A and B are shown apart, each in its own frame.
Chain A
Amino acid sequence: MRSLFSPEYEERVAVGDVTFALEPGELVGYIGPNGAGKSTTIKMLTGILVPTSGQVRVAGLVPWKSRKENARNIGVVFGQRSQLYWDLPLIDSFELLRAIYAIPPDRYRRNLNEFVDILEMSDFLRTPVRQLSLGQRMRGDFAAALLHGPKVVYLDEPTIGLDVVAKEAIREFIARINAERGATIVLTTHDLADVERLCRRIVLIDRGTLIYDGDVDRIKSEYGRFRTLVVRFSEPVVQPELEGAQLSGLEDSSARFRFDRNLVRADRLVRQASERYSVEDVSLEEPDLESIIRRIYIEGYERRPEEGAS
């Protein structure tokens, strides 16, 4: 009740300390947990939110000072909201965009034909958008965002809610747009498989602060030193032990050992295990980006994981 009469406003810094620069044609993953400030950054980059301090430049323009000029350079896809006309056939939205961006007729036709072809849209081009499946609608939204040939493309969770086949189609399309048209792409996603498939570089933010900016490979090797050896015994073992590795899980007759690959070699551990116990099967787990990022979200990123790692 109190909040009805005297609403309390809390001032929060949504994006505080984030600095990065992109080269033309780069495809970068912009990653962070919910509420980290990703969408806020995108809003500032598109010119619809004015930052209280700091600088933003997109292709030489300050977005919020020249919103319309900036708009000609950019294309935006939101996985969670569509920019298509709900009640009208898909093609109507494309025609509207042709008028908005004043795309010359021949270029419009060329781009449209190409997108209809790659995204396999010919079957539903004349279907009202509200009758499309999510996968079809997403393809329509991609075409809509790229018809005018933007230099910079922002993709905000473009694969959310899609099935594996549709996801892969969208990923392939993103890679193709980046490679063939040289568009600079900022990809925001929670599906790190998108990033692993598409990006060489990631920018990681949390609570409005930049915490990592660099190669996906580097973050993988820094955090990927720790691996897990899974050993399945032919009979239950009470307290299995291996020198140089830590027991990190035990379930029925299968045990998980975590080890630092710089300190001990996997084949030694395997030999050790088979000497001590009756082993039925072993397997080695490489950390994927998802588990690395999950750990960073929870524990925070440290420049030298050797010291902080447990």
Chain B
Amino acid sequence: MEAALAPYVAFATKAFAREATYRIEVLTEIGSLVLRVYILRSLWTALYAQNVAPVGLPLHSMITYATVAMLMSLILEVDATRLIREKLREGTIATDLMKPISVPFYFFSDGLGQTALHALLVVPSLLCALLLVRIDVPSPATFAVFLLAFVVGYGVNFFLNFLMNCIAFWTLETFAAQLIVRWASDLLSGQIIPLLFFPGIVGRLVFTLPFAAIYSTPLLIYVGVIPPARWAISIAVQMLWLVLFAALASVVWRAASNRVVIQGG
């Protein structure tokens, strides 16, 4: 078992090291995050002064929501499997397929390595953000459930990106498709605006979409809008999306590897 895992541990370690070579980029990320936290604080404070607050989400919860969402995005915005489309375009996926490894697991472990590096940024970013805003501290139980929901949401997001990048097997270019899904996800995941703000039937619909599993569910658990009584069902819904997306990813991967076309080879 240990020997079977060794290559994947090595992939993750090398991905971590590779990401770490771009130090400036990593540092800019923290700077940009702090700037965005500042903008959002000003924005929400102004909006709340105009009395647009939805029921049950006071300003301090809103600012907490926005700041935690920013910290989550440090990890969730890493397109961990972009390697797929890069390798397809360059034709280097051929050399990976010529190795005695499971190629999807290679991409997964590489993605985990990248994620690990970006996760390291959360604490310094949080410290910087705390110079600008004050955020609510939840109970340990709430925080633990939030972390669980975040991990499941990470999985959903991971497979969503994986599926997007697999489009490259058919088109080699995925920019347009990814942009559309990205916009939809920004809006419908609750990353920028809590889904509570959507009115009427749309408001109910957005909670049933898979995007809600990525940001909205963990964040609403954190700020207490989802009460302990509904923790189990919320995470169960997330899990459902995770299983569904993972199954879809496996089907798509099988179809994709059946039509490996190596460009210019």
The answer to whether A48 touches B10 (Cβ under 8 A) is: no
A7 to chain B: closest CB distance in Å? 11
B18 in the interface, Cβ–Cβ < 8 Å? Answer: yes
Residues of chain B with a CB closer than 8 A to A95's CB: 10
Q: State which of A75-83, A114-122, A202-210, A241-249 sits at the interface with chain B.
A: A75-83
A54 to B235, CA, bound (A): 51
The interface on chain B, measured as residues whose beta carbon lies within 8 A of the other chain's beta carbons, has a size of 25
Nearest residue (CB) in B for A89 is B17
Question: Chain B CB within 10 Å — which of A48, A49, A69, A71 has the most?
Answer: A48
The answer to whether A71 touches B262 (Cβ under 8 A) is: no
Q: State which of A96-104, A168-176, A258-266, A282-290 sits at the interface with chain B.
A: A96-104
Question: Chain A CB within 10 Å — which of B97, B100, B260 has the most?
Answer: B100
Question: Chain A CB within 10 Å — which of B9, B92, B265 has the most?
Answer: B265
The answer to whether B100 touches A88 (Cβ under 8 A) is: no
Nearest residue (CB) in B for A68 is B100
The answer to whether A81 touches B260 (Cβ under 8 A) is: no
The answer to whether A81 touches B14 (Cβ under 8 A) is: no
The answer to whether B10 touches A96 (Cβ under 8 A) is: yes
The answer to whether A87 touches B18 (Cβ under 8 A) is: yes
> Known contacts being A85-B14, A96-B10, is A48 close to B100, with CB within 8 Å?
no
Residues of chain A with a CB closer than 8 A to B9's CB: 99
Residues of chain B with a CB closer than 8 A to A92's CB: 14, 17
A67 to B258, CA, bound (A): 13
B3 in the interface, Cβ–Cβ < 8 Å? Answer: yes
> Known contacts being A43-B265, A83-B92, is A100 close to B98, with CB within 8 Å?
no
The answer to whether A48 touches B262 (Cβ under 8 A) is: yes
The answer to whether B100 touches A100 (Cβ under 8 A) is: yes
A68 to chain B: closest CB distance in Å? 4
A88 to B19, CA, bound (A): 10
A145 to B101, CA, bound (A): 15
The answer to whether B21 touches A88 (Cβ under 8 A) is: yes
B99 in the interface, Cβ–Cβ < 8 Å? Answer: yes
Residues of chain A with a CB closer than 8 A to B3's CB: 102
Nearest residue (CB) in A for B14 is A96
The answer to whether A88 touches B94 (Cβ under 8 A) is: no
A46 to B98, CA, bound (A): 6
Nearest residue (CB) in B for A76 is B98
B95 in the interface, Cβ–Cβ < 8 Å? Answer: yes
Residues of chain A with a CB closer than 8 A to B92's CB: 81-83
A43-B265, A46-B98, A74-B98 known; 15 new pairs, CB 8 Å cut-off, are A43-B94, A48-B260, A48-B262, A72-B100, A76-B95, A81-B94, A82-B92, A83-B92, A83-B95, A88-B18, A96-B14, A99-B10, A100-B10, A100-B100, A100-B101
